[in-house]
């Protein structure tokens, strides 16, 4: 059974969505997956003038009709309507996207962050809420308008794991993806650098070497348990900084990371995933 056979592509008809279509097509080609475009109409966005001159039900019906027309005519060359279903919903965008992905059993959601230069506001975005609420993997990129997807022949992914109880799930997914799409997989893990006091370079080196050996041993055990044989890279420092530096030095198409299975304010919202997704130079696939 294919790991990814159904891709959900939420659209709001923005330039970011148009640019993101290249990533969607690449993923669909790699996995032989079917793409569905979705648009969520916010029926609470009526302006005061509309409500003053017309009944609310009439306005809502018109907004839905306009949304359906725009959806049916959006990116038809890239995603022909006969092959790529169009799904329309109304309500809160993030809530409806997550609900749609669950009910229709989509394997992957692909959408831009829309963060732009205000990257620190990512946590308030629709994409951030989808990352928190969706059960399936989510691929995001804030650079869709400025960086094109790699050629199909280039197939290399990084998988960051923290050796928590969720690492096995993340690594298994990454291994299955690598096998199915015939891509090169590299596992990356960050070990904490020893606190600078007392200052002793010799002790720092011993500490780091000990931590690295322990991490490699545990990663080796994980790989053997699932029959994987990916390259391993260990970096030292704070998790975010070390991982981003390693990503910058790599030639990968995408960075895979795990999310907590628990959503809500004390679940995925506190994950490092958000900081990485906000600042990564490459698309991030959160699992």
Packing angle between helix 201-226 and helix 167-181, nearest 10 degrees? 60
Rounded distance between C-alpha atoms, residue 150 and residue 156, angstroms: 10
* Whether residue 197 has pLDDT greater than 80: no
Q: What is the CATH number of the domain that holds 8?
A: 3.40.50.620
Q: In terms of domains, do 120 and 7 share one?
A: yes
* Measured distance between the N- and C-terminal CA atoms of the chain, rounded to whole angstroms: 18
How sure is the predictor about 147, in pLDDT bands with cuts at 50, 70 and 90?
confident
Q: How many domains does the chain have?
A: 2
pTM of this structure: 0.86
* Boundary-marking domain end, from 149, 179, 206: 149
Q: In terms of domains, do 143 and 242 share one?
A: no
* Whether residue 281 has pLDDT greater than 50: yes
Whole-number pLDDT of residue 204: 57
* Whether residue 237 has pLDDT greater than 90: no
How sure is the predictor about 266, in pLDDT bands with cuts at 50, 70 and 90?
very low
Q: In terms of domains, do 6 and 138 share one?
A: yes
* Whether residue 74 has pLDDT greater than 50: yes
Neighbours of 256 (CB within 10 A): 26
Q: In terms of domains, do 257 and 133 share one?
A: no
Rounded distance between C-alpha atoms, residue 89 and residue 42, angstroms: 9
Q: In terms of domains, do 85 and 45 share one?
A: yes
Q: What is the DSSP letter of 232?
A: E
Class of residue 236 by CB neighbours under 10 A (exposed 0-12, middle 13-18, buried 19+): middle
* Whether residue 44 has pLDDT greater than 80: no
* Whether residue 259 has pLDDT greater than 70: yes
* Whether residue 114 has pLDDT greater than 60: yes
Whole-number pLDDT of residue 101: 97
Q: In terms of domains, do 6 and 139 share one?
A: yes
* Whether residue 265 has pLDDT greater than 50: no
Element (H, E) at 115: none
Rounded distance between C-alpha atoms, residue 88 and residue 41, angstroms: 8
How sure is the predictor about 249, in pLDDT bands with cuts at 50, 70 and 90?
confident
Contact call for residues 201 and 253 (beta carbons, < 8 A): no
How sure is the predictor about 205, in pLDDT bands with cuts at 50, 70 and 90?
low
| 187 vs 52, higher pLDDT | 187
DSSP string, 231-276: EEEEEESSHHHHHHHHHHHS--SEEEE---S--STTTGGGSTHHHH
Over range 16-27, report the average pLDDT. 94
3-state helix, strand, coil in the chain (%, to 5): 45, 20, 35
Over range 60-88, report the average pLDDT. 93
Q: In terms of domains, do 117 and 207 share one?
A: no
* Boundary-marking domain end, from 123, 149, 175: 149
* Boundary-marking domain end, from 114, 149, 184: 149
Over range 82-94, report the average pLDDT. 94
3-class secondary structure, 53: helix
| 225 vs 54, higher pLDDT | 225
Q: In terms of domains, do 3 and 132 share one?
A: yes
* Whether residue 116 has pLDDT greater than 50: no
Q: Which domain holds residue 49?
A: 1-149
49-58, 156-165, 184-193, 235-244: least confident range: 49-58
Whole-number pLDDT of residue 135: 92
Rounded distance between C-alpha atoms, residue 90 and residue 57, angstroms: 13
69 torsion bin: left (phi>0), alpha (psi -120 to 50), beta (else): alpha
Q: In terms of domains, do 139 and 46 share one?
A: yes
Q: In terms of domains, do 217 and 93 share one?
A: no
| Percentage, residues of the chain above pLDDT 90 | 48
Neighbours of 4 (CB within 10 A): 22
Q: Which tens digits make up the pLDDT trace of 131-142?
A: 889 999 999 987
Q: In terms of domains, do 143 and 284 share one?
A: no
Q: In terms of domains, do 3 and 87 share one?
A: yes
């Amino acid at each position: 059974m294919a790991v990814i056979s159904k891709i959900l592509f939420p659209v709001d008809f923005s330039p970011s969505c148009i640019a993101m279509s290249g990533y969607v097509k690449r993923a669909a080609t790699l996995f032989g997956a079917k793409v569905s475009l979705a648009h969520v109409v916010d029926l609470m966005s009526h302006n005061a003038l509309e409500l003053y001159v017309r009944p609310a039900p009439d306005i809502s019906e018109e907004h839905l009709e306009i949304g359906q027309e725009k959806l049916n005519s959006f990116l038809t060359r890239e995603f022909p309507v006969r092959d790529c279903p169009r799904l329309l919903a109304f309500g809160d965008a993030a809530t409806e996207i997550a609900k749609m992905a669950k009910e229709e059993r989509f394997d992957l959601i692909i959408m831009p962050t829309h963060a732009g230069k205000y990257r620190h506001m990512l946590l308030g975005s629709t994409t951030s809420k989808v990352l928190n609420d969706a059960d399936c993997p989510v691929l995001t990129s804030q650079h869709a308008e400025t960086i094109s997807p790699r050629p199909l022949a280039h197939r290399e992914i990084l998988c960051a794991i923290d050796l928590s109880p969720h690492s096995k799930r993340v690594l298994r997914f990454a291994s299955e993806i690598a096998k199915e799409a015939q891509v090169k997989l590299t596992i990356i893990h960050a070990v904490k650098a020893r606190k600078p006091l007392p200052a002793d370079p010799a002790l720092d080196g011993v500490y780091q070497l000990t931590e690295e050996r322990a991490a490699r041993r545990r990663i080796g055990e994980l790989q053997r348990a699932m029959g994987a044989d990916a390259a391993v890279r260990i970096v030292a420092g704070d998790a975010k900084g070390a991982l981003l530096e390693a990503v910058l030095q790599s030639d990968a198409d995408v960075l895979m990371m795990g999310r907590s299975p628990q959503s809500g304010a004390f679940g995925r919202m506190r994950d490092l995933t958000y900081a990485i997704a906000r600042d990564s130079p490459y698309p991030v696939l959160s699992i």
